Structure 1
Amino acid sequence: MTGYDFYLDKCLLPIAPGRLQLSIKNENKTIKLMNEGQVNLLKTAGLTDIEFECIIPQIEYPFAVYTSGFCGAEYYLAYFERLKTRQRPFQFIVTRRMPDGGALFGTNMKVSMEDYRITENAEEGFDLSVKINLKQYREYGTKSVSIKGAVANTAGTNTISYTVNVEQTRSRESAPDIGKMRNYKVHRKNDTLFNIAKETYGDGSKYSLLSIANKDTVNDPFNIEQGTVLKIPAV
């Protein structure tokens, strides 16, 4: 698709897929009430499924895009395998532009690599076709509950006291502290969120925090205009 850029974590696909499908799952429940017929219980939507098929070239084409020079298929296959085997969520980002360069809406979602299928077809020459399925990832946490009470034994002679404490919910992964942010003005041309995270946090891998906090400002995380003001969440 012309004017589209697809990122899996920090990896830009060299050729944008020709088709992208997002499926928002329904979790509503229909029940039947006596004398009332059917009613629909509205629930939070299920996790979004993402599906697309991309071409991974074995030779360098003039229309293919690379952030740091040509990379062969072996690089991308190893990258996909790492996304699957490391068992960690990552950012899926799609930027969209009009032919005149005007920005359209973007997609920025934390996902997991579900499965992918590699196909070699003689009609495609030496190039590979990879069908990828992703699933939206939602943060979750645990909660401890504190209850005070007493239980008597069956004879009624002894009483056992118990206490359970309630603790603050903690997310499985650290999230940006929206309440504690500072502004940062981009001072380099065509800067990237990875470089800015490395400068502000000392760790480029924290670029996803910047991506979440600035999803309405940043359309392309690998090409941020000089002078753009970003929000830097505390960690």
Structure 2
Amino acid sequence: MAYEVYIDDMLLPLPPEKIPVKYSSQNKTVNLINGEEINLLKPAGLAEISLDVTIPQMDYPCAVWDGSFDDAEEFIERLKELKKGKTPFEFIVIREGAGGNSFFDTSLDVTLEEYKVSDDVSEGVDVLISLTLKEYRHYGTHILNFILLDKEHAEAENPEEERQGQPSPAKTYTVAKGDCLWSISKKVLGNGGRWREIYNLNQDKVKNPNLIYPGQILTMP
């Protein structure tokens, strides 16, 4: 099985050996007056992800570089920016089996809790980085504005709805540096798992779904 792992828009050249995701609980155990113990069920806690990342400093045939960063130094600087910026970003895992069959994918908005850079003599000059990520849940107040229109007013406001047989113009997306089909699908369609729909529509220009280039214009579903 092939793995692609993204930290924000950065594709890791070598996927981690393990990707443990811990889903914690906020349940609370209390004792009643009669001494009976019960469990108070509460919403699930935030997922925590621990990764040991290797950034190679030599040429490895199995390493994949997509241009989102050039070396370990730039990767560490990007981590500093993510930590200092105090903003959530995407953690993405794409799993693909033999024959291009897609398995379940992971896409979480996360924050960078901590990272540790270490040198391991057994790893040669490669840089080892331990990351701790935590799931981020968006919150806030949503204000909805409702406008009530009578039928005649609504028809006058939307005359295009009466026109029949006019196809809507095709939607397109121009590939930017660091993009992959998953991130484009997440950004434009709201679901990274629909990346194969984009690939199927653009097989005339995308021969390998893992290789797209800045400036390419893709037709969107």
TM-score scaled to structure 2, two decimals? 0.69
1:214 match: 191
Contact 1:4 1:97 in 2 (8 A): yes
Q: What is the CA deviation profile of residues 111-143 of structure 1, one whole-angstrom value per residue up to 9, with x for unaligned ones?
A: 000101111011111101111000000111158
The equivalences for 1:92-107 within 5 A come to 92-107=91-106
Q: Which residue of structure 2 aligns with residue 19 of structure 1?
A: 18
* Structure with greater proportional helix content: 2
Q: Secondary structure at the match of 1:217?
A: helix
Unaligned runs of 5+ in 1: 144-167, 170-181, 197-204
- Per-residue deviation, 1:52: 1.0
Q: Give the letter for the 1:215 counterpart.
A: G
| Residue in structure 2 matched with residue 90 of structure 1 by the alignment | 89
Aligned residues: 181
- 1:57-72 to 2 correspondences below 5 Å: 57-68=56-67, 71-72=70-71
Higher relative strand content: 1
Distance 1:69 1:26, change over 3 A: closer
Q: Which runs of 5+ in 2 are unaligned?
A: 145-167, 203-218
Would you say 1:225 and 2:199 are equivalent positions? yes
Q: Which SS does the other structure have where 1:50 is aligned?
A: strand
Larger CA deviation: 111-120 vs 24-33: 24-33
Residue 133 (structure 2) pairs with residue 134 (structure 1): yes
CA RMSD of aligned residues (A): 3.5
2:39 aligns with: 40
Contact 1:19–1:52 (CA under 8 A) maintained in structure 2: yes
Whole-angstrom distance in 1 between the partners of 2:35 and 2:170: 58
The 3-state SS of whatever aligns with 2:64 is: coil
Distance 1:117 1:31, change over 3 A: same
Matched letter for residue 132 of structure 2: N
Task: Compute the TM-score of the two structures, normalised by the length of structure 1.
Answer: 0.66
1:192–1:100 Cα change, 3 Å: farther
The runs of at least 4 aligned residues of structure 1 exceeding 4 Å deviation read: 182-188, 191-196, 205-208, 228-231
Secondary structure of the structure 2 residue equivalent to 1:218: helix
Contact 2:66 2:178 in 1 (8 A): no
| Aligned partners of 1:193 and 1:210 also within 8 Å | no
Within 2, Cα distance between the matches of 1:195 and 1:95?
14
